[in-house]
Amino acid sequence: MLLILRACSRVPLALAVAGTLLSAAVAADGQPPAPAHGIAMHGEPALARDFKHLPYANPDAPKGGAITYGVQGTFDSLNQFIVQGGTTSARGLRDARFGALVFESLLERNMDEPFALYGLLAESVRMPEERDWIEFTLNPQARFSDGKPVTVEDVIFSFEILRDKGRPHFRARYSRIVSMDKTGERSIRFVFADGSDRELPLLLGLSPIFARHTIDPETFDKSTLTPPVGSGPYRVEEVDPGSRIVYRRNPDYWAKDLPIRKGLYNFDEVGIEYFRDENTLQEAFKKGLVSILPVADPARWVTGLSFPAVEAGDVVKETFELGTPAGMYGFVFNTRRPVFADVGVRRALAMLFDFEWVNRTLYYDLYARTGGYFDNSVLSSLGRPANALERDLLAPWIEDLPDDVVEGTWRPTQGDGSGRDRKVLRAAVGALKTAGYAIDGRTMKGPDGTPLAFEVLVATKDQERLALAYQRVLKTIGIDAEIRSVDGAQYQRRRQTFDFDMVLNNWPASLSPGNEQRYRWGSAAAGQDGSFNYAGVRDPAADAMIDAMLAARDSENFVAAVRAFDRVLISGAYAVPLFHLPEVWVARWKTILRPEHHPVFGPRFEAWWAADGGEQIVDDAQ
């Protein structure tokens, strides 16, 4: 018999819901879902119950040594989960690039699959086909770095504090939990109103778990530089605000022998240094002050890394192919501003970015032009006419979408590479004329005589260089784009409060897009400071497509929903699509080694190790 205990007085649980909970524990065949070692968004997880380690981890990697990462910017907080300081917190605590050094979750992702999770703090998970609840059973060995066990009460506390005081996407996500119930000494069940959001149970498995005994709920939403206590493999050892943070590996880390952690987090020390700009960071790498350098700028990759250590073989330059969508990097139109309220104006302005000239002049022709939000994948709508499933989803709005977008023939405007393609300029002027604009003297003016002018907010020299290239073309038809360069802290504050006309942004994409799209493009996020809906999108079509992808029960319907969503975003012209690299470039000093295999999501630095970290250096090190 299930032990049902009240977990939170602020989450109502009627007797009827409790009855639903009890009946939901029984599957359609009369049997409760069995505890599983992993779950997947679609289908079954690829790794068997008895897997020994992740496919991109070397289980024999030696422990020891140190690595120093370099990042651009600054930090003034060690709490990345709140609005205040959430975008200026120290890197590494729980990081998409550097791994979960301090904070862990109930489940952990295998980055060599689209979206599959395996047990970490939870040793097993149960979830019915309907996905109207999910239950986790904690690993009895799970410990925080201060030695105290991870309990169900810690889990409940973590979800409550993020729901009440976390960043907007946490609040919105956890508000859809009907109840959190302790069903055993080490188990907890989350119940939802229904299973319409089929990604939600998996996202709960990826939520950070805090040590309740170390956190004051009254001050959780305030920035702090007090080192936090987590269950991860590292402790914060040194904090130099704005400049440096150092993590020291915990020799008593509870999960070091678990298959999901075997061969990962091998360095005794992880340092993250902050630099004011990319040039300073690159120079620090050349001097050996930074161990590895991911590079996104072709000019830096081709010319900036020609120095003696490379020629001598002490620095290795490597290229990693990706198996994920390209994502979108572009100039964002803040549609909250009247100047960008008209989609016709946005489409015309997007035509004026001369990719061919920029790519040749600035980037050695190494970039590919971005068109949609899921390029280079089965999820992209480009080159594919909308099928019957997509048309059914888009039916209420399809008449408002451009025909070429629906038919899959749309592409970003292509210039002749001269930087002054008259054909493109005439087409943009014609599109602006349709929107009520005309050139008066040397100034493009609207119907009321107001000049077409806006500000482009930038924070780095690379962003400024790109904005200057765009500004030059805009000026040829009388559009005034003023470039405003600010420091990193001001840049983040203005982005958080949507205090900009236009800003550069990168939206990475995965093979399993889901709830994160709500906070990038959903109507509810448009008015929430700290959300990622920088464009201010309030489009019922976008909301409906997000709902459809979250409700999809099979790959066919999921792919159709994502492609339809891609068409809606392209049609809305919320960004000027720029470009992408089909691969990842990383330079590393040869003192850092890596496994031979890297996952579809690109290299995972938490799987790398120090050449002097121990005696055993395996043959597959590259």
User: What are the pLDDT digits (tens) for 262-305?
Assistant: 999 999 999 999 998 889 999 999 999 999 999 988 888 988 89
Residue 532 DSSP symbol: S
pLDDT grade, residue 5 (50/70/90)? Answer: very low
Closest by CA position to 402, among listed 574, 575, 571, 572? 571
Task: Dig out the tokens for 197 from the structure.
Answer: 């959001």
| Rounded average pLDDT over 251-258 | 97
Task: Dig out the tokens for 381 from the structure.
Answer: 């709508």
pLDDT of residue 30: 58
Residue 526 DSSP symbol: T
CATH number for the domain whose boundaries are 328-579: 3.10.105.10
Task: Dig out the tokens for 115 from the structure.
Answer: 């979206």
Asked if the model's pLDDT at residue 618 lies above 70, the reply is no
* H helical segments located in 287-339: 298-299, 308-311
Contact of 68 with 271, CB cutoff 8 Å: yes
Closest by CA position to 352, among listed 458, 467, 500? 467
The SS3 of residue 316 is strand
Amino acid identity, residue 75? F
The distance from CA 602 to its chain's CA centroid, rounded to whole angstroms, is 14
Asked if the model's pLDDT at residue 509 lies above 70, the reply is yes
pLDDT grade, residue 24 (50/70/90)? Answer: very low
Portions of the chain given CATH number 3.40.190.10: 1-6+53-322+582-622
- What is the distance between the alpha carbons of residues 616 and 622, in angstroms, rounded to a whole number? 15
Amino acid identity, residue 207? S
The 3 state secondary structure assigned to 103-158 is CCECEEECCCCCCEEEECCEEEEECCCCCCEEEEEECCCCECCCCCECCHHHHHHH
How much is the mean pLDDT over the chain?
A: 91
Burial of 74: CB neighbours in 10 Å, binned 0-12, 13-18, 19+: middle
Burial of 192: CB neighbours in 10 Å, binned 0-12, 13-18, 19+: buried
- What is the distance between the alpha carbons of residues 279 and 287, in angstroms, rounded to a whole number? 13
pLDDT of residue 418: 87
| Rounded average pLDDT over 229-249 | 97
Rg (CA), the chain: 25
Positive/negative CA dihedral, 225, 227, 228, 230: positive
CA angle, corner 214, sides to 219 and 158, nearest 5?
A: 75
- What is the distance between the alpha carbons of residues 211 and 231, in angstroms, rounded to a whole number? 8
pLDDT of residue 172: 87
| Rounded average pLDDT over 88-93 | 91
Q: Residues 580-590: pLDDT tens digits?
A: 987 899 999 99
Contact of 604 with 108, CB cutoff 8 Å: no
CB neighbour burial string for 404-423, b if at least 16 within 10 angstroms, e if fewer: ebbebebebbebeeebebee
| Rounded average pLDDT over 171-192 | 95
Task: Dig out the tokens for 223 from the structure.
Answer: 């920035």
Portions of the chain given CATH number 3.10.105.10: 328-579
Beta strand pairing call for 453-458 and 502-507 = parallel
pLDDT of residue 124: 98
- What is the distance between the alpha carbons of residues 2 and 13, in angstroms, rounded to a whole number? 16
Asked if the model's pLDDT at residue 115 lies above 90, the reply is yes
Helix (H) or strand (E) holding 525: none
Burial of 489: CB neighbours in 10 Å, binned 0-12, 13-18, 19+: middle
Contact of 523 with 539, CB cutoff 8 Å: yes
Sheet containing 116-119: which strands, arranged edge to edge?
Answer: 38-40, 116-119, 107-109
| Rounded average pLDDT over 247-273 | 98
pLDDT of residue 86: 59
Q: Give the residue carrying structure tokens 């999501």.
A: 601
Instruction: Determine what percent of the chain is predicted with pLDDT higher than 70.
Output: 93
pTM above the 0.85 mark?
A: no
Q: Give the residue carrying structure tokens 């572009």.
A: 330
- What is the distance between the alpha carbons of residues 409 and 388, in angstroms, rounded to a whole number? 17
Closest by CA position to 103, among listed 251, 292, 316, 247? 247
pLDDT grade, residue 417 (50/70/90)? Answer: confident
Q: Give the residue carrying structure tokens 């420091």.
A: 487
- What is the distance between the alpha carbons of residues 193 and 206, in angstroms, rounded to a whole number? 20
Report the CATH architecture of 1-6+53-322+582-622. Answer: 3-Layer(aba) Sandwich (3.40)
Sheet containing 453-458: which strands, arranged edge to edge?
Answer: 480-485, 453-458, 502-507, 328-333, 575-577
Torsion of CA 544, 549, 553, 558, to 10 degrees: 120
Contact of 271 with 242, CB cutoff 8 Å: no
Amino acid identity, residue 240? D
- What is the distance between the alpha carbons of residues 179 and 200, in angstroms, rounded to a whole number? 14
pLDDT grade, residue 199 (50/70/90)? Answer: very high
pLDDT of residue 616: 34
- What is the distance between the alpha carbons of residues 54 and 234, in angstroms, rounded to a whole number? 20
Contact of 189 with 181, CB cutoff 8 Å: yes
Helix (H) or strand (E) holding 221: none
- What is the distance between the alpha carbons of residues 411 and 573, in angstroms, rounded to a whole number? 12
pLDDT of residue 22: 34
Torsion of CA 530, 536, 542, 547, to 10 degrees: 20
Instruction: Determine what percent of the chain is predicted with pLDDT higher than 90.
Output: 83
Positive/negative CA dihedral, 578, 579, 584, 586: negative
Contact of 613 with 268, CB cutoff 8 Å: yes
Q: How far apart are the first and last CA of the chain?
A: 54
